Structure 1
Amino acid sequence: MSRTRRVYGKEFKAKVVLEALKETETLEVLAKKYELLSTRI
């Protein structure tokens, strides 16, 4: 059974990056919040 790849829009990517740059939360917390792997951020 194959899984479909998730496609992220520009707005979503920008929101995640800006929040990561603020450094108010750890990458692990952001990854859980946005349902991503911490290595993807």
Structure 2
Amino acid sequence: MEALIGLGYTNAEAQAAIAKIPQDQAMTLEQQVTYALRSFSQR
């Protein structure tokens, strides 16, 4: 979440993006951030 906030997203936006990350997959931090950033572009 800190990475997204550091990029200028609000706490609420970061939390919403993190909530969309699938929990059943083993993802690295980089993959999680990439997934979260892609969720922003789907708006």
TM-score after normalising by structure 1:
0.35
Higher share of residues assigned helix: 2
Query: Which protein, 1 or 2, shows the higher relative CO under an 8 Å CA cutoff with sep ≥ 6?
Result: 2
TM-score after normalising by structure 2:
0.34
Structure with higher Rg: it is 1
